[in-house]
Amino acid sequence: MDTTLTAAFLGLLEGLTEFLPVSSTGHLLLAGHFLGFESKGRTFEVVIQLGAILALASVYASTVLKILVRAPHDDAARRSIMSILLAFLPAVVVGLLAHDFIKNVLFETPMLIALMLILGGFVLLVIDRIAPAPVHLDALSLPFGKSLAIGLCQTIAMIPGVSRSGATIVGALLMGVEKRAAAEFSFLLSLPTMGAAVAYDLFKNRDVLDFGAVWDIAVGFAVAFVTALLVVRWVLTYISRNGYAVFGWWRIIVGSAALLALWLGF
């Protein structure tokens, strides 16, 4: 496949999956494996995530700005900020301690990624049926203890194939957060989490980063931005009406297909 077409396809995949509970990293790594695509220092994969982050930031810009403006004189706004920061904290600790192992071992194990996709799919199907009745309807007013617990759930997603949004949404649902509010909290938490992860990854790999394929990176970035923008605007409405079962089946199908391909030696 032409490298520009590959870049566009991977950008599309990133934008489609980043904010769905299906693991964008798992999809990108498996696609790269089967397409024979690899960028030095994972530059391409890291930079196109910025497109998805920018798309999410543009959607939630007014919400975040309102909270920041109100924070100096509004207890509710300050509690919202503290709630997000508490949820973000576990990822900082685990990310700093385990970054090299995650990138050098887990990211290079396609079999593990496929298995995690399948396992996570079954978890979503079960949780979508047995989640307790919601008691928290507002993503910006969760109790601090539950915010921290959701943040601990997020650390599991450092295993590629688990899904950051999937882990946080499942954790939130189990703690009585309404489906739409769970997704919104996951989206807001992803802003500091993804921003910090990309910045740290670029810093850690600054000596091996290869920006030679600037055109391919630009194509992937642009496609990821546009696609993620459409997905973020659509997914909250879909989840409110239909829940998460379709994403569970998606994970199981993709993971099973990848597992079969790996067993066949592809």
- Digitized pLDDT (tens) for each residue of the chain, 266 residues in all: 568 888 899 999 999 998 889 988 889 889 988 888 877 666 777 788 889 989 999 989 999 999 999 999 999 999 999 999 999 999 999 988 887 777 777 777 889 999 999 999 999 999 988 888 999 999 999 999 999 999 999 999 888 889 888 899 999 999 999 989 999 999 999 999 988 888 887 787 777 666 667 788 889 999 999 999 989 888 888 888 888 899 999 999 999 999 999 998 88
Q: Residue 70 corresponds to which tokens in the numbers above? A: 């109100």
Compute the distance between CA of residue 219 and CA of residue 42 in angstroms, rounded to an integer.
16
User: How many domains is the chain built from?
Assistant: 1
Q: CA nearest 24: which of 64, 61, 55? A: 55
Closest CA to 29 of 235, 219, 254, 191: 254
- Report the interhelical angle of 43-70 vs 179-204 (nearest 10°): 120
Domain range enclosing 64: 3-263
Query: Cβ of 74: how many Cβ atoms within 10 Å?
Result: 13
Find all residues with CB under 8 Å of 66, minimum gap 6, and list them.
77
Q: What is the dihedral of CA 222, 232, 141, 76, to 10 degrees?
A: 50
Q: Report which DSSP code applies to 132.
A: P
SS3 category, 136 = strand
